């Protein structure tokens, strides 16, 4: 089975002068879930090459078994540093797509034409489309086969307003994910801040926060029956 992981190329946290990017745990944990299941994994980003790492996800307090494994894994580090350009990706080549979060996707993947086309094509083909934390933002502009919002009447989760407030970025992000998902007609639900929560609705899988990363990846494997 071939799984595509799509990461952000955006590294600026609004106009704060601070850096953002992808969240390390949200890449590392799913990567190893897939890898340990013998999946063939490709990594892509809008610009290709090295996706920017959110420096806060590299703090000692944010480290997990998966992030430590990544830091000792030269092969995966080099693979990540040479991500494919998203515009050159064909949905036909993959059995599932997984979007790790971090704040970066709010800026560059929420309205990326190549990403939207990839999601629409894979979703229509019945292939798993998964996103965790802030990454469900990639679904906002996608349409279903009937030209309605793909999210309309779909059960989803994602980084909550209360979690955004807890990290004090409510006034910095370009939009609040929870509000935007609801505005597209999604049936958005959440659990307490920072607790694992994953929803599978057909072939659409979403996770609420970093703690949901591993379970979101396992839900993909469950659909693929790996």
**Residue 137 — pLDDT band, cuts 50, 70, 90?**
very high
Q: What is the pLDDT of residues 31-87, one digit of tens each?
A: 999 999 999 999 999 999 999 999 999 999 999 999 999 999 999 999 999 999 999
Is this prediction's pTM over 0.95?
yes
Rounded-to-10 torsion of CA 77, 210, 204, 80: -10
Neighbouring C-alpha atoms within 13 Å toward the C-beta of 13: 19
Q: Is the pLDDT of residue 184 over 90?
A: yes
Rounded-to-10 torsion of CA 190, 191, 196, 201: -40
Domain containing residue 165: CATH number: 3.40.50.880
Q: How far apart are the first and last CA of the chain?
A: 8
Domain count, the chain: 1
**Contact 99/3 with Cβ under 8 angstroms?**
no
136 secondary structure, DSSP code = G
**What is the residue range of 86's domain?**
2-224
- Within a 10 A sphere around the Cβ of 49, how many other Cβ atoms? 12
Q: What is the pLDDT of residues 153-169, one digit of tens each?
A: 999 999 999 999 999 99
**Contact 33/3 with Cβ under 8 angstroms?**
no
Q: Would strands 204-207 and 198-201 be described as parallel, antiparallel, or unpaired? A: antiparallel
Q: What pLDDT is stored for residue 226 in this prediction?
A: 59
- Tell me the two tokens of residue 211: 């703690």
């Amino acid at each position: 089975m071939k799984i595509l992981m799509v990461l952000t190329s955006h590294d600026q946290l609004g106009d704060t002068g601070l850096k953002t990017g992808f969240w390390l745990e949200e890449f590392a944990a799913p990567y190893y879930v897939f890898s340990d299941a013998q999946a063939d994994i490709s990594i892509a980003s809008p610009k290709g090459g090295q996706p920017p790492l959110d420096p806060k996800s590299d703090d000692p307090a944010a480290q997990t078994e998966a992030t430590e494994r990544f830091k000792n894994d030269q092969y995966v580090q080099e693979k990540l540093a040479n991500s494919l350009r998203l515009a050159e990706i064909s949905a036909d080549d993959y059995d599932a797509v997984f979007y790790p979060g971090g704040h970066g996707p709010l800026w560059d993947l929420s309205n990326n034409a190549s990403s939207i086309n990839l999601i629409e094509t894979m979703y229509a083909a019945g292939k798993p489309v998964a996103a965790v934390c802030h990454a469900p933002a990639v679904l906002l502009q996608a349409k279903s086969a009937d030209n309605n919002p793909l999210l309309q009447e779909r059960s989803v989760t994602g980084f909550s307003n209360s979690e955004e407030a807890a990290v004090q970025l409510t006034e910095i992000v370009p939009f609040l994910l929870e509000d935007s998902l609801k505005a597209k007609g999604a049936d958005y639900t959440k659990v307490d801040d920072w607790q694992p929560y994953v929803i599978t609705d057909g072939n659409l899988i979403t996770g609420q926060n970093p703690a949901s990363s591993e379970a979101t990846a396992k839900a993909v494997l469950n659909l693929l029956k790996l």
